[in-house]
Amino acid sequence: MKQLLLALAAVIATTTFAQEEDLFDLLDEGENQQITFATFKGTQLINAATNETPGEGVLQYVIAHRFGSFNDDYLYNFFGLDNAQVRMQLDYGVTDRLNVGIGRSSFLKVADSFMKYKLIQQQSGTTPIPVSITLHSTLNYRNARYTDGIEHDLTDRFSYMHQAIIARKWNRSLSTVVSPSLVHFNLVPTANDPNTTAHVTLGARYKLTNRMALTGEGTLLSNREFSGGERFTTPIAFGVDIETGGHVFQLHISNTRAMNAPYWMARNPYSVSNGGLFLGFNISRVFTIKE
C-alpha cells in the first residue's frame, strides 16, 4: 500500500515538475489573432483605390496633379506643369472601417463624393483570413458645360463607380490588389452604347525600404469601342510611394489624366503609342481630429 502511494505521489510530482518546465510555453498558448496592417501606404495605389482607409477620427487631405503630355510642347509648358489637371480630396475616417469623402477635379470640373467600407480584414493566427475586402462607391457630377448644343437634364451629368477591392499582403514587401468594378454613366453617346461597363483593376506594390515602395496598376475594360467611333484604352500607371511621417508622396507616370474613377477607368482616350504619357503625383496629409 505504501509502495503504491509512493509510486502515485512520484507520478503526480513528476507531472507537476513537467508542468513547471513548460511554464514559459504557456506564454505562447494565448491569443495570437492579428489583423494585417499597412497592406498599402495610401488609400490610393495610383489612380485606383486600395483597401486602406484612414483610421477613426482621422481627416485626410489629398492633392493630385496630372501634368501635360511629353509631346505637347513639353518645355514650353514647363514640363507639362502649365496644363496640369488637379484634383483635391478631403475625407474622414468615421470608424476604423468606414471612410467618407468629397473631391473636386479640374477635369470636366467633376465634383465627387465617395464611401469606402472595410468589409473583411486580412488576419493571421488561429483563424486566418487570407484577403481583405473593401467596398468602394463613388458618385460623380460633371460641372463642365456641354458643347454639343443640346439641352441636358441634370441627371445626364451623373456617373457612378462601384467596386469590391480584394487585397492581400503576401509578405512585408509585396501586396497585391484585384478590384472588380462597375462603371455607370447616365449619359452615353448613342442608345447603342452601354451605360454600364465592367472593369477589373490589377495592382501591386513592392516595398524597397520601410519608407519607399514601387507601385503599378492596370485596368481591364469590357467595352473599348463605342458606336460614335470613340475608342478607349487600358489605363496603366507605374509609380513610387515615399512616406514621410504624416505625408505620403506618390509620384507616377501613367497614360491617364482624369482622376475620377468612371473617367480614367472607362473613358481613357490616351495611349502610350501616340504620346499619351503623363507625369503626376498624389500627396496625402493626415490630421488626427479625434484621438
Q: What are the residues binding another protein (CB under 8 A)?
A: 2-3, 5-6, 9-10, 12-13, 15-17, 19-20, 23-24, 26-28, 30-32, 34-35, 37-38, 54-58, 93, 96, 171-172, 210-211, 244-246, 286, 288, 291
Looking at the Cβ atoms of 15 and 143, the one nearer to another protein is: 15
Looking at the Cβ atoms of 177 and 266, the one nearer to another protein is: 177
The minimum distance between CB 217 and another protein, in angstroms, equals 21
Positive or negative: CA dihedral 268, 269, 271, 277: negative
The minimum distance between CB 51 and another protein, in angstroms, equals 14
The minimum distance between CB 166 and another protein, in angstroms, equals 20
The minimum distance between CB 172 and another protein, in angstroms, equals 5
The minimum distance between CB 112 and another protein, in angstroms, equals 24
Query: 46-66 burial string, b = 16+ CB within 10 Å, else e?
Result: bbbbbbbbbebebbbebebbb
Residue recorded with cell 515602395: 213
d(CA 256, CA 276): 8
Looking at the Cβ atoms of 54 and 68, the one nearer to another protein is: 54
Looking at the Cβ atoms of 19 and 71, the one nearer to another protein is: 19
Looking at the Cβ atoms of 10 and 119, the one nearer to another protein is: 10
As beta bridge partners, residue 32 has none
The minimum distance between CB 207 and another protein, in angstroms, equals 9
The minimum distance between CB 27 and another protein, in angstroms, equals 4
The C-alpha cell of 145 is what?
A: 458645360
The minimum distance between CB 18 and another protein, in angstroms, equals 11
From residue 203, give the alpha-carbon distance in Å to each of 44, 65, 180, 273: 11, 20, 12, 22
Looking at the Cβ atoms of 177 and 265, the one nearer to another protein is: 177
Looking at the Cβ atoms of 210 and 273, the one nearer to another protein is: 210
Looking at the Cβ atoms of 220 and 240, the one nearer to another protein is: 240
Query: Do residues 53 and 134 make contact, with C-beta atoms less than 8 angstroms apart?
Result: yes
d(CA 100, CA 91): 6
